[in-house]
Amino acid sequence: MTDFLLENSWVIPIYSLVGAVITLPWSLGIIRKTGPRPAAYINILMTLVAFVHGTIIFNLIWAKPARQFVFHWLQVADLDLVLSFELSPVSFGALELVTGISLLVQIYALGYMEKDWSLARFFALMGFFETALAGLALSDSLLLSYCLLEALTLSTYLLVGFWYAQPLVVTAARDAFLTKRVGDIALLMGIVALSSYGEGLNFSQLETWVEGHQLNPTVSALLGLALIAGPIGKCAQFPLNLWLDEAMEGPNPAGIMRNSIVVSAGAYVLIKLEPATTLSPISADALIIVGAVTAIGTSLMAIAQIDIKRALSHSTSAYLGLVFIAVGLRQVDIAFLLLFSHAIAKALLFMSAGSVILTTNNQNVSEMGGLWSRMPATSLSFLVGAAGLISFAPLGMFWTYQRWFNGAWDVDWWLLGIVMFVNLLSAVNLTRLFRVIFLGEPQVKTRRAPEAPWQMSVPMVSLMVVTLIATFAPIHWSFWLSPNIPLSLEQPTLVHQYAIPLLIASGALGCVIGSTIGVRRAWSRSSNFTFRFFQDLLAYDFYVEQLYKVTVIAAVSNLAKLTSWIDRYVVDGAVNLVSIATIFSSNALKYNTSGQYQFYIVTIVLGVGLLLWTMLNGQWSMVTNYWSSVM
């Protein structure tokens, strides 16, 4: 039985797709008498089957070498396009993370979207969503991964635009789709270029290919930049980071997946592309610069938000920025641990936030307070999730940082400074949110806020336990991803000696600062011009959106107007001129229709003669000019 499950483990991503297809009669409104809940139960059952199947395989292949399932999709002449799946502890660990969180999120969605009339359609989209994510976890093929990333972009568009009757939702879905498309097009160019230089399109072949090929420095730089463009869009990194903030207009259960798993999927592809993306120092430095700018900028943006989901979404971009820095430094083991620790903690935070939003019908934290005694499970979930994101011993992110700065990797002061900055502002942001939402005096919208229903509380408590257990992963897991052996420095530098105390101090300082920062009501503005300027600067995302409007959007708009003018007056004008000339000439000739064929012959002879005279005259001029030049 175990051999059968192992040989057919590549079908695990298809379970969710089957569930989505089965639920179509409910999502399309063909079956109405039973209500939409059977569709939800079917999808939850298929996700549970995928999780159990993945767990069995994960235990079977633990500590065993990776193996591939290869399917030859298209063979024409020398072209051989294959779809390859990898069976390894890493790929199935990622699969377990996807299916496990998806299972909890779908149970959570039963309570959160209980009264939504499109519940069946939501679960069908979630099944499609999970299929793309699970396929990415197992895929060893660049071609298959790109197709799945496109499916992920489509499902993101559909889920963000789920409540399509709201104008803001439609705009957010459009912006998320178009922003991701920018990165996807560049990624496709990189994959096509890589296929023309390499022997195959599999991740497992990249390291061997890099060792055996020497590319032109310009080519390697352009190839690396093209390959990192896709993950930049998927992971909401600067300058393609604004879509994640706007995507918070969609349902919160989808937002849980988006901020924990979807962005991690883009970074997971980036990790597997590491041998090619760091082939050139230019592309490696680009990863570090993009990650550093995003980590610093979005950390600052987060502390100025009063929308609970937007404050947490900016934090997502900041931690993914650290992942980009780790990949740029070729420390992909650390990148993987950052993804793992962040995904679980951030999913728990968004579950807690969704519970608050459902109970209070409000997302503005300035109108909240005093929920600790009324919503104990939600409060404790937020507290554990927040502790899991900052360097709070003994939770996962603390041990991830400890592994990063324990002397096994070559790190510098600038890296420690960035990590401390992100940790400090993350502690400030999460402590500020916790104090404003759960402590203090109850406000109008929080005086009668009950605890979330059991469909939401059970997944929250379960994920809280997982967050506590996940502490052991950075301590005990072996590392399979990195082609680079850690340095194991004989004499740790000052950075390694003081890193962990400084990180703990930065987290503690952030908690102290966050506990003292007040949140003004939405209608209250500070009279201090300097404070108000910086507050607006951070709250409006450094006015990046306005900058886009006066640069990229204005350029595209003006180019569209120019091409429209050329099409209307130049192209159409030339076509209309020919048609008008034809109409006038035909009208002039129709009056000469006398029925006498002699006249027709004279007309044809004169026309042909005029044409020959024009051609011969031109050739005679050319001959005259030639002899003049010779003489």
- What is the per-residue pLDDT across 434-478, written as a single tens digit (0 to 9) for each? 988 888 788 877 778 788 888 888 999 999 988 888 776 655 554
Token pair belonging to 612: 């020959």
Total number of residues shown for the chain: 631
10 Å CB burial of residue 86 (0-12, 13-18, 19+) is buried
DSSP 3-state assignment of 87? strand
Task: Report the pLDDT value the prediction gives residue 200, as an integer from 0 to 100.
Answer: 59
410, 331 in Cβ contact below 8 A? no
CB 357 within 8 A of CB 317: no
**Sign of the alpha-carbon torsion through 432, 433, 437, 439:** negative
Residue 41 within a domain:
yes
* CA 44 to centroid of chain Cα atoms: 24
CA dihedral 137, 135, 290, 397 (to 10 degrees): -30
- Specify which residues 81 forms β-bridges with: 74
Mean pLDDT of residues grouped by 10 in the chain (631 residues)? Answer: 75 89 87 85 92 87 77 70 82 88 92 85 90 89 87 88 85 85 86 72 78 79 87 86 82 88 88 84 89 91 87 90 90 87 90 90 84 88 90 80 79 87 91 88 80 88 87 56 49 72 88 79 61 76 81 86 87 82 71 65 78 71 59 55
Residue 337: which of 167, 225, 482 has the closest Cα?
482
Kindly calculate the radius of gyration of the chain based on its CA atoms and give it in whole angstroms: 31
**Residue 454 is assigned to a structural domain of this protein:** no
Within a domain: 30:
yes
Half-sphere exposure in the Cβ direction for 441 (13 Å, CA): 2
At 235, give phi and psi (nearest 5°).
-95, 10
**Number of domains present in the structure of the chain:** 2
Q: Is residue 187 part of a domain?
A: no
118, 140, 162 — which closes off a domain? 140
- DSSP-derived secondary structure for 174-225: HHHHHHHHHHHHHHHHHHHHHHHHSS--BGGGHHHHHHH----HHHHHHHHH
pLDDT at 481: 47
- Tell which of 140, 165, 192 closes a domain: 140
Q: Helix, strand, coil proportions of the chain in percent (round to 5)?
A: 75, 5, 20
Q: What is the pLDDT of residue 618?
A: 63
Cα–Cα dist 192/170, whole Å: 33
Residue 280 in any domain: the answer is no
Which residues does 393 contact at the CB level (< 8 Å), separation at least 6? 504
Return the closest-CA partner of residue 375 out of 466, 457, 463: 457
The pTM assigned to this predicted structure is 0.86
What is the per-residue DSSP string for 319-377? HHHHHHHHHHTT-HHHHHHHHHHHHHHHHHHHHHHHHHHHHHT--BGGG----TTT-HH
Alpha carbons 290 and 210: distance in angstroms, whole number: 24
Residue (of 172, 356, 347) closest to 250 by Cα position: 172
Position 320 scores a pLDDT of: 92
Neighbour-count burial of 577, counting CB atoms closer than 10 A to its CB (0-12 exposed, 13-18 middle, 19+ buried): exposed
Q: Can you give the pLDDT at residue 589? A: 65
Q: Which helix (H) or strand (E) holds 148?
A: helix 142-160
Task: Kindly write down the DSSP assignment for every residue of 252-274, as one continuous string.
Answer: HHHHHHIIIIIHHHHHHHHHHTH
Q: For residue 111, is it within any domain? A: yes
CA 432, 433, 434, 435 torsion: positive or negative? positive
Tokens 């069908």 sit at which residue? 124
113, 140, 167: which is the final residue of a domain?
A: 140
Residue 62 domain-assigned (yes or no)? yes
Yes or no: say if 315 and 429 are a contact pair by the CB < 8 Å rule. yes
18 belongs to a structural domain:
yes
Supply the range of the domain harboring residue 78.
Answer: 1-140
CB atoms < 10 A from the CB of 46, how many?
A: 24
The candidate with the shortest Cα–Cα distance to 84, out of 131, 125, 144, is 144
Q: Please give the Cα distance from 165 to 317 (Å, whole number).
A: 28
Which string of b and e fits 237-262 if b means at least 16 CB within 10 Å?
bbbbbbbbbbbbbbbbbbbbbbbbbb
Helical axes 281-302 vs 413-438, angle rounded to 10°: 30
What lies within 8 Å, CB to CB, of 42 at 6+ separation is: 19, 22, 23, 123
Q: What is the pLDDT of residue 478?
A: 46
Calpha distance 18→131 (Å, rounded): 9
